Structure 1
């Protein structure tokens, strides 16, 4: 019983072996990120097998547009995680209570805006992106349902981020696994037995996320020994809200910029037709799992750094970053090798169409070197964010996404046009992406070593 209690308790990452603390904290997050990836993957597998390749393409083509608007919550989540981890590391109950309450309040306001405004502009945006006519209606149905239910998704992500900021990645993981199980079961029922198609997978997703959000909120209510959660702290507070936005907006904006660049590239993707879109969806789903160690180590290092900055232990931050990055890179190499060996088998889960399996596997192999680069980027960016410097990773992403990725994608596709390939070679999109990842890792490493991110720490002390 004591072991279970300890497992679900917040983790103090300011003491003990830094590598062990990071890895033990990261493992539940990795499992959780894999489970979260299962949301979209389950949607794709079920619609691909029970509705068809066009439905698979529709769900995938909706992704960049969906991510663009959800990036608002990524910003709130990152800001909340930094405020919570630093307050927890400093053992400041009042600041911790304010951080949690402000996060809950800001999430409500943000999600309300999206629910009211975004469904009305979804179809025009899909048309603007050149979404093929044979999949545009399905993509629209999928997106509108998800936007109307965005409050569940918002709290599902924000409250999980708060729990992780407190060092409690186990509870966040358990609630995520529960939601994933509900999502997959409802996907199957809604699509196979009720014939709801893409609308069914969207409904399953928002129902599961509301359940996870409820469980996370209930957990926070029980953590009275660490902070207070009542209307006094949930009510709007100008200064804490400004701080949360200042910390979170750069990360949210970073992801939004990335999403915009994906939307611009999506126009190119759509020009190659629904078959390429479907293959690209398969790649993104498998790619999402390969990326999980990078995102998990990055998130773990954000919490690790935040707590140790709060405790004024900068030497420990440096040590943890080095060890965490090395372990992360080795993990990514192992997973990349497994994908190389068993990739085609994984692609075959999504579709029975041989051409799609072959094309998606080829695309995946082009991206392979970029996974190690992404591990470096995420780990070092995680440390910078945990220290309060969310601007440096934002500028790196801005340069990469806008200055490098988009022009390079259009340039390579344009140069590959021939009489036989009037639209160009679709594989140029993958070559432009892996180049972007490699440049991003190089820039991140240089700026991390420069120590520019430490200025924020000095200001906060």
Structure 2
């Protein structure tokens, strides 16, 4: 196992963050390639089916995003304490948990898929196309969830370039297989789903190769011989941390689903305008998440090493980059937002509504930076109960705010969303002083 992360400097933080940022920006490429490949066939029903199916898959799969987040923090802590055996055991536990949950999803699709289409019915032809896509994507569930664990493990070790390589492998295989299955074999929407599922299995193979190289080989054999792999306390902590993060993730998914529904309530034009503006929020979130993920790993390593000073420095340096990036994005969107909206849609009504709401979307990177950063801090320290409670509180306050502002139309919808980020930051910020005192008392 390689040594501890490099010294805490701005250059080191940036060096660790940029592969994450680049990897994050490639995430939408999977959906973009899926859309482009099926879109070029001219089959509108297939294209709409992929869009509907992607919504279902993203919600179901990302519910298990705790496999990435929990792995990052706990791996970083073990690495910081120089416990190489626990680092290896963490990977094997994460892989086992991710693969098992993926198998459960694969079996449960007989219930989940009909339920999803009952809630999101789009017509017989559209549902048929979406059904083919969704059932094909479920074939990749065990691999997809296991890759979440590998990614979290690599990020916890600070191996961000390896995590980037893993993402690139999946994207390239996905693009190649989409083209083969759709354009050559004519599988339609199901072919897009099969291409992505096969890419996820390829990514799992690549991830296992990378992990084996990182650990010096014979990882599984050493892990199976190690009593630490099935240590009761370690397994209890793994499930407790992941359960909290899962609840937190579901709460935030509900928040954004409510936002989407709020736009739909105002009509197709408002919904389309919100979708356009949320692309700005998503792009900025990908970049800021790079610094938040780096904070998770650095802070987790500092906790493992028992250094409150290193934790404080990691927080401060990550905060500098996170806040500065948030302000820069806000300024960029304020200045160039309208031309960017024009690139994303040609519909005059949608452009008008999006332009009027642009200031709200533009300031989200600036006001959301503290929330994103604090997520990384609390995940890094594995104070996941506070993270869970903050997400629940923020979502409840957001829904109450949206209901109170319904008379304000689209403006009320965006004010409520902006306040949601403030609610998240405040809810976590309330726990921060106690967190710092606890860490310092351990020295």
For the criterion TM > 0.5, the same-fold answer is yes
Match of 1:315 among 309, 318, 325: 309
Partner of 1:442: 426
Residue by residue over 1:114-173, the C-alpha shift from the partner in whole angstroms, topping out at 9 and shown as x without a partner, is 111135323333433576788555444443332332122112221111111111111110
Paired residues of 1:384 and 1:453 also in contact (CA < 8 A)? no
Superposition pairs of residues 184-333 of structure 1, within 5 angstroms = 184-187=175-178, 190=181, 196-225=187-216, 228-230=219-221, 231-232=224-225, 237-271=231-265, 277-333=271-327
Aligned to 2:172: 181
Aligned to 1:452: 435
Q: Determine the structure 2 residue equivalent to 1:144.
A: 135
Question: 1:138·1:198 contact (CA, 8 Å) conserved in 2?
Answer: yes
Q: Cα–Cα, structure 1 residues 99 and 302, in superposed 2: closer, same or farther, change >3 Å?
A: same
Distance in 2 of aligned mates of 1:205 and 1:349: 28
Q: Give the structure-1-normalised TM-score.
A: 0.82
For 1:229, what is the secondary structure of its paired residue?
Answer: helix
1:35 aligns with 2:26: yes
Q: What residue in structure 2 maps to residue 25 of structure 1?
A: 16
Listed as ranges, the gaps of 5+ residues in structure 1 are: 1-8, 417-424
What secondary structure sits across from 1:16 in the alignment?
A: coil
Structure 2: distance between partners of 1:360 and 1:60 = 21
- In structure 2, the CA distance between the partners of 1:357 and 1:212, relative to structure 1 (3 Å rule), is farther
> Which moves more between the two structures, 193-202 or 295-304?
193-202
Q: Indicate how the Cα distance of structure 1 residues 344 and 96 shifts in structure 2: closer, same or farther if over 3 A, else same.
A: same
Structure 2 CA distance, aligned partners of 1:155 and 1:118? 18
Q: For the structure 1 residues 24 and 227, does the alpha-carbon distance in structure 2 shift closer, same or farther, using more than 3 Å as the test? A: farther
Whole-Å Cα distance in 1 between the matches of residues 399 and 12 of structure 2?
39
Whether contact under 8 Å (2:212, 2:218) holds in the other structure is no
Q: In structure 2, what is the equivalent of residue 6 of structure 1?
A: none
Q: Is residue 25–residue 300 contact of structure 1 (8 Å, CA) maintained in 2?
A: yes
Deviation track 1:371-392 (CA, whole Å, cap 9, x = no partner) reads 1222211212212221121121
2:106 equivalent in structure 1: 115
2:244 touches 2:385 (CA, 8 Å); kept in 1? yes
Q: CA deviation at 1:394?
A: 1.6
SS at match of 2:220: coil
Conserved 8 A contact 1:106-1:241? no
Counterpart in the other structure of 1:12 = 4
Structure 2 unaligned spans of 5+: none
- 2:405 is paired with a residue whose SS is helix
Q: Name the residue aligned to 1:430.
A: 414
Q: Answer yes or no: is 1:388 the counterpart of 2:382.
A: yes
State which drifts further: 199-208 or 164-173.
199-208
Structure 2 distance, partners of 1:186, 1:340, is 39
Alpha-carbon separation, structure 2, partners of 1:146 and 1:445 = 39
Q: Kindly report the root-mean-square deviation, in angstroms, between the aligned alpha carbons of the 2 structures.
A: 3.4
1:406 maps to which residue?
Answer: 399
Matched residues in 2 for 1:429 and 1:438: separation? 15
What is the rounded CA distance, in whole Å, between the counterparts of 1:137 and 1:129 in structure 2? Answer: 13
Q: 2:71 is matched with which residue: 72, 80, 99? A: 80
CA contact (8 A) 1:61 1:277 kept: no
TM normalised by structure 2 equals: 0.85
- Deviation at 1:255? 0.7
Note if contact 2:260-2:271 (Cα within 8 Å) is conserved in structure 1: no
Change (3 A) 1:191 1:278: farther
Counterpart-to-counterpart distance in 1, 2:437 and 2:40:
50
Post-superposition Cα deviations, 1:372-419, rounded to whole Å, max 9, x if no partner, equal 222211212212221121121221111111x12223334433x24xxx
Q: Is the 8 A contact 2:53 2:134 kept in 1?
A: yes
Cα distance in 1 between the residues matched to 2:108 and 2:57: 14
Change (3 A) 1:238 1:457: farther
Asked if the contact 2:280–2:362 (Cα under 8 Å) also holds between the matched residues in 1, the reply is: no
CA contact (8 A) 1:283 1:364 kept: yes
CA shift in 2, pair 1:257/1:168, >3 Å: same
